[in-house]
Amino acid sequence: MVRNFLAAAFLTTGANATALSIEPLALDSIGAAAQPSLAHDGSDGFVLSWQSRLDDGCVALRAATLSAQGGLGPVREVARGCDWFVNWADFPSLLVADNGDWVSFWLQKSGEGTYAYDVRSTRSRDRGRSWSAPTTIHDDGTPTEHGFVSMAPAGGDKVLMVWLDGRHTGGAHDHGDHHPGIGGNMTLRSAVLSREAVMNHELEIDDNVCSCCPTDLVRLHNDEHRVVFRNRTDQEIRDIGMARFDGKTWHDEGIVHPDQWTIAACPVNGPAIAARGAETLVAWATMGGGEGLAIRAKLLNGEMLELERGDALGRLDAAVFGEDWLISWLGNGESGTTLRLGRFDAGLRERSRHDVATLPRGRDIGMPRLAANRLVAMMVWTESGAQGPRVVGRRVTTASQVSRGSSVESKVRRP
């Protein structure tokens, strides 16, 4: 059964135990910045990372701790370079391994082609004060696309990394407004990175995937991992695929839901995944099965719902929030593109919905990111400013006390 929610903005204005308190983060001190990402730091806080364009035209990857109260720690530089691939949809992130190491990466050009770039990884053993010499996480040596990386802890100092790998494409691509490439297939690959920068279990997960949709990866309660990605068939059906890693090999888990979205170009719209206990949540965007872009979410062991359909942008993220789920997406509001945040209970019933920000359409806002730890969540995204792009964020908590007023409740239609 699919539950279809036709919802206006849900405002945190009533005495509502399910509402959320959403407060601005003070991030102006990091200056001009873009492509932010968030990681849970293993305790009660987070690590924020971003890219900054330097005066000489080069780029620096930087990071800082972000406390559960929203306090920003010292800014640390991970790396900088003048030959990086910098993109609104494919960008670095940072992960905290189980032993406390920080692991990050950037995308570095490997040839003259627009999409010829490698994934270069580095590690810090002292919370960002110093970083190891970079290593390339794939060994094919081809001047083709390697990116859209997802990472997850894999025990001790180990990190599981998943990425789109274009070694068979010959440099051809089908990025959004480009025509489909004439080379071989884009593939999805993985490897386990150790503290000594040794890559183990380098495997091919899928031999034909969409060439520029972000991937997402989560560690499960049994220490296995699950990845979601936009699949691709010879008939150009690009629904969400899924696979599970048992520590040695990947197991194909098929399509999350048969949307039957047929499109002969990459929509640059990947899925999001979160897991709590034995349950896994997947959220994604699709134009299959109706008019406009639909935002959907599904519990693998239960319910599926459609959050919105119409002139939305998608670009989702998801996180565990206490006993609930959080899903963020770019939807269609009365004044333009709206960054939305939904709170859902364990059974995927909507508890509240919040319009967090109104943003201009286009690529400049990038891919908003969401991370949560217990009952504190953080959201970050890029906005354009007078001094260049800047990273904007919100701190999200449960609303213990809210002012009186009216709220607009979601209307539920069950087919």
- Local mean pLDDT, 10-residue blocks, the chain (415 residues): 39 55 96 96 91 96 97 97 97 98 98 96 98 96 97 98 96 51 85 94 96 98 97 97 97 98 96 97 93 95 93 95 96 88 97 94 91 94 90 90 34 29
Domain annotation covers residue 169: yes
For residue 39, the model assigns a pLDDT of 97
Tell me whether residue 382 is in a domain.
no
If DSSP states are collapsed to H, E and C, what string results for the chain?
Answer: CEEEEECCCCCCCCCCCCCEEEEECCCHHHCCCEEEEEEECCCCCEEEEEEEECCCCCEEEEEEEECCCCCECCCEEEEEECCECCCCCCCCCEEECCCCCEEEEEEEECCCCCCCEEEEEEEECCCCCCCCCCEECCCCCCCCEEEEEEEEECCCCCEEEEEEECCCCCCCCCCCCCCCCCCCCCEEEEEEECCCCCEEEEEEEECCECCCCCCEEEECCCCCEEEEEEECCCCCECCEEEEEECCCCEEEEEECCCCCCECCCCCCCCCEEEEECCEEEEEEEECCCCCCEEEEEEECCCCEEEEEEECCCEEEEEEEECCEEEEEEEEEECCEEEEEEEEECCCCCEEEEEEEEEECCCCCCCCCEEEEECCEEEEEEEEEECCEEEEEEEEEEECCCCCCCCCCCCEEECC
What domain range includes position 251? 90-267
Do 229 and 188 share a structural domain?
A: yes
Tell me: do 133 and 180 sit in the same domain: yes
Query: Would you say residue 391 lies in a domain?
Result: no
Structural domains of the chain, count = 2
Is 124 inside a domain boundary?
yes
Are 274 and 201 contained in the same domain?
A: no
Residues 283, 260 within the same domain: no
Structure confidence at residue 251 (pLDDT): 98
The pLDDT value recorded for residue 400 is 55
Domain membership flag for residue 7: yes
Last-in-domain residue among 235, 267, 299: 267
